[in-house]
Amino acid sequence: MNKTLRELADLIGGEVSGDSGVCISGAADISDAASGDIVFAETPRLLAEARKSQATAIIVHKNADISEKPVIRVDNPRYAFARTLEIFAPSKIHEPGVHPTCIVGEGTTIGENPSIGSHVYIGRNTTIGNDVVIYPSVYIDDNVSIGDNCTIYPFCTIHDTVEIGNKSIIHSGSVIGSDGFGYIRVGSEQYKIPQIGKVIIGDNVEIGANVTIDRARTGKTEIGRGTKIDNLVHIAHNVTIGENCIIIAQAGIAGSTEIGNNVIMAGQAGVKDHVKVGDNAILCANAGVIGDVAAGEFLSGYPARPHREQMRLYAAQTKLPGLLRLVRDLERRVKELEDKPE
């Protein structure tokens, strides 16, 4: 799909400087761009690299200083480039209809324009919305609700009484609504606590591959609208996550924790049970959160502390070998003085 630079600028809401008639045939990173590609540069360093690249044109900030190549000037180059990728991305064609090997239980309704692949199981009294794409080998239990324009990739398992909002995406291998991890020790054995709650997933949520979201013991486990969850994340029973959060790979959230809106949890961050994390908080990679986090805090380390404080502690730790050598030297000198005859 070829576009002139002017056509592309109109689609992404930018202004052209230079030859607006050049042909753009694709989008690429600066390092592997070829003639016909457009790239984006949001820093001076990237802009310098883009100037030297084979790219035909560059998406830049409105006030960028460049005349060597045609450019599209925008307020947010990264966002404009994302929209450009959408334009040049090949359209995926989904087979319309319900495959004959699909099993659909009694009382289940399927909306308009479905694309449901082979060997999908859909239980009883489940509702599937309009324009839903369900890839082969997906298991959907009884009393599930899936909204419009959702995409569910192969080998997902969605247990009973799960509710999924509109325009949500669930990637391969994820399990939504499995039992929460709840036991009581009785004598020498662990007695399993029934998990009878549900999982509610809001609109426009994306859940990565091999994510596990447990059903609540009672009540609900809830993922707020617009939240994005990376691969290999575990969310325990009765957790609530607010809107527009980012949860990155291998993070874990223990039971009954409350995560506010616009929270970022970096890779392998972990949050203890019954903790509250305020809006706009940031938890760095490997952070171990064992207490409540105020809105807007930026934490790192284990146990998690304010990031600047943690950096000072790390800096102090690097001085420990020298301090140990100094202490040993002082101990030796003191001993020599004590052993010296009067």
Which residues does the annotation mark as catalytic? 237
Distance CA 254, CA 269 (A): 11
Strand order in the sheet with 212-214: 103-104, 121-122, 139-140, 157-158, 175-178, 212-214, 234-235, 252-253, 270-271, 288-289
Distance CA 195, CA 214 (A): 9
Token code pair at residue 112: 């308009």
Token code pair at residue 229: 């969850």
End-to-end CA distance of the chain: give it in Å, rounded.
95
Number of H helices, E strands in the chain: 5, 40
Nearest to 156 by CA among 136, 179, 175, 169: 175
Token code pair at residue 328: 């040993």
Which residues partner with 97 through β-bridges? 115
